[in-house]
Structure 1
């Protein structure tokens, strides 16, 4: 029997697409960075693309993290926001690291486990 107030609220939006969009934007930004570093893609004519993806990633992360407050007491959302929150540190630090240094890709990849953990936290629990 469900306790009072624990039933799902159909009026509340699903936060899962926000976490998926943040992870997709992050993955696209990393993929672009890797292909440029390996000289497979030349972005000299459109360097703004990497910056646009970075801004999109930061905005998507902020939107996903804000879902903790507007989504309500949904356990999966709380777990996902707790898992994604540490990604803010490398995302903020990467802006201050020179792009051609060895630290740039390392700091960028430091956020990857947090994106993965947030997506895993959103998966429904297997119940038997």
Structure 2
């Protein structure tokens, strides 16, 4: 792609990385609030699960769209940086929600989400 279509594609890719980071942040904030008993989600426990699904879907979409931007694009670099977040995100459902493993595993995805977000918003190399 060239011209405005390329810019639009880059903006869409970086928006997906932003959406993934926002969903992840919201889910972590909700989880931490429940764990510290600031919020009681007993009547709407599904919300944490829904945010988890949104987070995983946004991460997957960001990786696919970022990867498809091309080998020297900021989207491809961002996708490579974000891809390892899939490991802890995939492990979370099998860990249970009580104890330290759940939040520690969830937090293990954070560096990859931050790196992907930063790289998605950096300009691509012009070589």
Fold conserved (TM > 0.5)?
yes
Task: Report the alpha carbon displacement of residue 9 of structure 1 after superposing the two structures with TM.
Answer: 4.1
* 2:55 maps to which of 34, 54, 57: 57
| Cα distance in 1 for residues equivalent to 2:100 and 2:122 | 38
Aligned to 1:44: 42
- Structure 2 residue aligned with 1:20: 18
Q: CA deviation at 1:122?
A: 2.1
Task: Give 4+ residue runs of structure 1 displaced > 4 Å after superposition.
Answer: none
SS in 1 for 2:32: helix
Hey, which of these two has a bigger chunk of helix by percent? 2
1:10 matched residue in structure 2: 4
Partner in structure 1 of residue 65 of structure 2 = 67
Residue 68 of structure 2 contacts residue 76 of structure 2 at CA under 8 Å; is this kept in 1?
A: no
**Shift in CA distance, 85/9, structure 1 to aligned 2, threshold 3 Å:** farther
Where do 5+ consecutive residues of structure 2 fail to align? none
Structure 1 unaligned regions, length at least 5? 1-6
Per-residue CA deviations over 1:80-117 (Å, capped at 9, x if unaligned) read: 00000000000000010010121000000000000010
- Give the one of 109, 117, 120 matched to 2:118: 120
Question: Which of 96, 99, 123 lines up with 2:97 in the alignment?
Answer: 99
Q: Deviations over 1:41-95 (max 9, x none)?
A: 0000000000000000010011101113443345200110000000000000001
1:80 corresponding residue in structure 2: 78
Structure 1 window deviating more from structure 2 (19-28 vs 62-71): it is 62-71
Quote how far apart the aligned CAs of 1:33 are. 0.2
